[in-house]
Amino acid sequence: MTHVFVIHTHRDSNQIRRLVSALKSQLPNSIVLVSHDVAGEAIDQESITACGATVLRGRGGRGDFTILDGYRDAIRWLQASGIAYDWISNLSGQDFPARPLAEFERRLCDASADGFLTYFDALKQEPPTARSMGWSPETGYERYYFQYRKIKSTLSFAERVPLRYIRKTVAVLTTSIRINPSYGLMVGRKAARTPFHPSFTCYAGSYWGTIRRECADYLLKFCDDNQEVVAYYRRVLVPDESFIQTVLVNNKSFRIENANFRYIDFSGSHHGRPKTLALSDAEAIRASGAHFCRKLESGPSDSLYALLEREIARL
């Protein structure tokens, strides 16, 4: 079995090398692609390549379609390079294996599913998946049934404070306009028409998951054949937490299991950012049975990194 890992990165060469080295030491035959955001911090590509990865010029960002562009570009690169593979997992540079990856590989070898993604109806937001992501009841509707325009890319704390009250006031006064300050200043108008209908439900869930090559190839074909849907998603909020689920779960020829084997703690989440994990989270990570965890950061997570490196080396 050949496994592809697409790692989305934007900074910290040391952290990237640590992850790539862990993946290649655990699964030497795996293909590791580092999709590094061209707008991000410069990294030491030579040292990362020496660890066994291929570095691609990627696209990244928060709250828009660019990370999906980077993922699609990586899949297209695999197609153009004629590389055969069985499964593809997307990771961030702040992910790390939580268990020996031989266990993950065995799980995939025995799997009858075509993909492992968390998903739920974006409007119903049925627990427990939606709850674990910290969504409020109106999140799915405001994200995916409005078309947004970015007015300002970044906001200071002083600018965010009054916008919180303005946002709530606008939501009370009108059903057609929404303001969102989470990813810069975004102003949305209720979509006159959406791509969603009874046979094409708007699903949502975590961006991070694992799918078979057949699903990845279909994802590209869908984008090529349905450019109006892609154009619509380019103007919603946080499309990466809906687009892949909507495309794949609505295709009934695929069996998508509602799990992604990731440990992520959204308690106390601020603007969709999960908690930075530390050594004190080790027991919860272990108890979850997850194969990967996020997010880790150099410095605050150093002790956890050291523990996980020992954990994954135990087989």
List, for residues 209-261, the tens digit of each pLDDT value: 999 999 999 999 999 999 999 999 999 999 999 999 999 999 999 999 999 99
102 is a domain residue: yes
Locus of tokens 């065995």: 106
Bridge partners for 120 per DSSP? 204
Give domain status of residue 109, yes or no: yes
Q: Give a three-class secondary structure readout of the chain.
A: CCEEEEEEECCCHHHHHHHHHHHHHHCCCCEEEEEEECCCCCCCHHHHHHCCEEEEEECCCCCCCHHHHHHHHHHHHHHHCCCCCCEEEEEECCCEECCCHHHHHHHHHCCCCCEECCCEECCCCCCCHHHHCCCCCCHHHHHHCEEEEEEECCCCHHHHHHHHHHHHHHHHHCCCEEEECECEEEEEEECCCCCCECCECCEECCCCCEEEHHHHHHHHHHHHHCHHHHHHHCCCCCHHHCHHHHHHHCCCCCCEECCCCEEECCCCCECCECCCCCHHHHHHHHHHCCCEEECCCCCCCHHHHHHHHHHHCCC
The reply to whether 281 and 168 lie within a common domain is: no
> Do 185 and 207 have their domain in common?
no
Q: CATH code at 292?
A: 3.90.550.10
Which pLDDT belongs to residue 86? 98
| Interval 143-150 mean pLDDT | 96
User: CA 241, CA 252: separation in Å to the nearest integer?
Assistant: 20
Q: Supply the pLDDT for residue 270.
A: 61
- The one-letter amino acid at 285: I
> In this structure, is residue 45 part of a structural domain?
yes
Residues 252 and 157 occupy one common structural domain:
no
Residue 140 resides in a domain: no
Q: What is the pLDDT of residue 236?
A: 98
Domain total of the chain: 2
Q: Is the pLDDT of residue 5 over 60?
A: yes
Q: Which of 135, 164, 190 is the last residue of a domain?
A: 190
User: Is there a domain that residue 129 lies in?
Assistant: no
Same domain, 158 and 212: no
Task: Give yes or no: residues 184 and 282 share one domain.
Answer: no
Are 225 and 88 members of one domain? yes
Residue 7 and residue 115 in one domain: yes
Sorting pLDDT into bands at 50, 70 and 90, what band is 59?
confident
Residue 154 has what pLDDT?
Answer: 87
Pair (179, 271) in one structural domain: no
Q: Which of 270, 63, 77, 258 is nearest to 164 (CA)?
A: 270
**Chosen domain end from 137, 155, 190:** 190
Are 206 and 118 in the same domain?
yes
In a domain, 134, yes or no: no
Residue 171: domain span: 146-190
In a domain? residue 66: yes
- Does 70 map to a domain? yes
> What pLDDT is stored for residue 153 in this prediction?
85
Q: Residue 183 — very low, low, confident or very high, per pLDDT cuts 50/70/90?
A: confident
Specify whether 100 is located in the same domain as 171. Answer: no
User: Is residue 90 over pLDDT 70?
Assistant: yes
Q: Are residues 236 and 113 in the same domain?
A: yes
Which of 170, 190, 210 is the C-terminal boundary of a domain?
A: 190
Q: Contact at 8 Å (CB) between 90 and 71?
A: yes
Number of Cβ within 10 Å of residue 215's Cβ equals: 22
- What's the whole-model pTM score? 0.94
Q: pLDDT-based confidence at 10, cuts 50/70/90?
A: very high
Q: Within this chain, do residues 243 and 161 fall inside the same structural domain, yes or no?
A: no
